[in-house]
Amino acid sequence: MITDSEPGDLFTIRNAGNIVPPYGEAMGGVSATIEYAVMVLGVKAIIICGHTHCGAMDAAMHPEQTVHMPIVRSWLNHCESARRVVVSNEKLTPEERAHAMVEENVLAQLDHLRTHPSVAAALAAGKIDIYGWVFDIAEGHLFSFDGDQGEFVPMGEDHIPSATPKRRRRN
Computed over every residue of the chain, the mean pLDDT equals: 89
Query: Can you give the length of the chain in residues?
Result: 171
Task: Identify whether the C-beta of residue 91 lies closer than 8 Å to the C-beta of residue 7.
Answer: no
Q: What is the pLDDT along the chain (171 residues), one digit of tens a residue?
A: 555 566 666 788 899 999 999 998 767 899 999 999 999 999 999 999 999 999 999 999 999 999 999 999 999 999 999 999 999 999 999 999 999 999 999 999 999 999 999 999 999 999 999 999 999 999 999 999 998 889 999 987 776 777 776 655 544
**Domain locations in the chain?**
16-154
Alpha-carbon distances, residue 4 vs 10, 62, 97, 157 (angstroms) = 10, 35, 31, 11
* The pLDDT of residue 105: 97
CATH architecture entry for 16-154: 3-Layer(aba) Sandwich (3.40)
pLDDT at 160: 75
**CA distances to 11, 119, 164, 168 from 171, in Å:** 35, 22, 21, 10
